[in-house]
Amino acid sequence: GDLTAQQKLAFTRDVIQLFAQKCRGYRTDVDVGEVLRGILTLIRRHHVRIEANYATLVVNMLCVEGLANRVCPEYNLLDASQPLLMGYKTVCGAGACTISKT
């Protein structure tokens, strides 16, 4: 079922706390795998339902991060993604991106 307002608040609080502890931004040696595993743990703990596409995306990101870490341990997925993410932010921040539900 749907989460109550109190449950949503608790989940949001825990996500904010996770990001404050584990995701300090670009060039801070963020362990993307650790952040993603933390998100999955919170989703499970708070009984948050997510669409299968998003769950698959997170699992795939864990696989990519793990592979990159084995091949090149000094490679940081978040840092390498910065130009793409900043470009997305620029384009979508200007209102050019829309999400359509099919």
What pLDDT, on the 0 to 100 scale, is given for residue 72?
A: 92
For residues 58 and 64, what is the distance between their CA atoms, to the nearest angstrom? 10
Tally helices (H) and strands (E) across the chain. 4, 0
Q: Enter the pTM of the model.
A: 0.75
Residues 27-67 pLDDT 10s: 888 998 999 999 999 999 999 999 999 999 999 999 998 89
Residues 87-97 pLDDT 10s: 888 888 766 66
What pLDDT, on the 0 to 100 scale, is given for residue 98?
A: 64
What pLDDT, on the 0 to 100 scale, is given for residue 53?
A: 93
Q: Which residues contact 61 (CB under 8 A, 6 or more apart)?
A: 32, 36, 77
